[in-house]
Amino acid sequence: MSKHSFPGHSQLTRAHKFSMAGVAALGAAALAVTLVPGHDTQAQAETVSAAPVAFTTDAGAQQIKDVHASVTDQQATASEKAKAAAAKLKAQQEAQAKAEAQKKADAEAKAKAEADAKAAKEREAQQAASRAAARKPVYANNLDGWIKQSLDIMKAKGIPGTYNGLYSNIMRESTGNPNAMNGWDVNAQNGTPSIGLLQVIQPTFNAYHVDGTSTNIYDPVANITAAANYAADKYGSIDNVNSAY
């Protein structure tokens, strides 16, 4: 502690020093006026007015504090506004990024769904083909197999006829020989011999040929089916034929 300090008193602030100097100056001026005889009131006033006054009031100090506080508040407000703007921009950017990510995810999901649907459709088609192939009958390469295959074709095409009707006419016409040919009847004499299991001439075979069968008149299934188609047109069914037709 300085030797000029007084116990129990804090050091004077700069504002306090200025205030004390002002009071001292005023006191000195007043004393000078009192000690000089012959001066009037106006002179005294001029003396007082001329005395320098240098002090700071508590109100002035408060105004400085208020200005400082106002500046501090404005700075804080500007900082908060900047933070709020930055937060808003960040939120907008995050929302945009999220929307773009969702859009991409939706597009990928749609593409995957379409690919899955296409794959499922292809699998279904393959399975259907496999089932159809599995259900497709295997016909023996003999008279029984030829008749059965022809009957299935006739059924699909709406051509009437039965196994017995086909068999009985085949046995009467060719005894079951697919290469049989009649070279002596009127058809042969006219240049169109009867051929095959059901002894069909070429013009009749051509006219009543059934799609899906061979175009070769000697083919057993094609011969039977064309003859049955002709008999259905002329006689109602091959079952109604009991003699040469």
| pLDDT score, position 173 | 96
Residue 75 sits in the same domain as residue 115: yes
Q: Is residue 157 part of a domain?
A: yes
| pLDDT score, position 62 | 75
Smallest Cα–Cα separation from 223: which of 192, 199, 242? 199
Query: Is residue 83's pLDDT more than 60?
Result: yes
Which of the listed residues 110, 136, 162 is the one where a domain comes to its end? Answer: 136
**CA quadruple 197, 202, 207, 211: dihedral sign:** positive
**φ, ψ at 134 (rounded to 5°):** -70, -35
Tell me the percentage of the chain whose pLDDT exceeds 70.
Answer: 77
Q: What is the mean pLDDT of residues 22-40?
A: 43
Three-state SS at 182: strand
Query: Is residue 14's pLDDT more than 60?
Result: no
Residue 97 sits in the same domain as residue 34: no
Q: Is residue 153 part of a domain?
A: yes
Residue 21 sits in the same domain as residue 63: no
| pLDDT score, position 57 | 62
Q: Is residue 127 part of a domain?
A: yes
Residue range(s) defining the domain that contains residue 212 = 143-240
Residue 122 sits in the same domain as residue 170: no
Which residues are CB-contacts of 216 (< 8 A; sequence separation ≥ 6)?
A: 222
pLDDT class of 24 with cuts at 50, 70, 90: very low
95 or 30, greater pLDDT: 95
Residue 52 sits in the same domain as residue 62: no
Yes or no: say if 245 and 234 are a contact pair by the CB < 8 Å rule: yes
Q: Is residue 5 part of a domain?
A: no
How far, in Å, are 57, 59, 63, 73, 105 from residue 70 at the CA level? 20, 16, 10, 5, 52
Residue 52 sits in the same domain as residue 94: no
Which of the listed residues 136, 153, 176 is the one where a domain comes to its end? Answer: 136
Residue 230 sits in the same domain as residue 147: yes
Query: Is residue 189's pLDDT more than 80?
Result: yes
Residue 83 sits in the same domain as residue 119: yes
CB atoms under 10 Å from CB of 202, counted, come to 14
Q: How many domains does the chain fold into? A: 3
| pLDDT score, position 64 | 78
Which of the listed residues 79, 104, 136 is the one where a domain comes to its end? Answer: 136
| pLDDT score, position 157 | 97
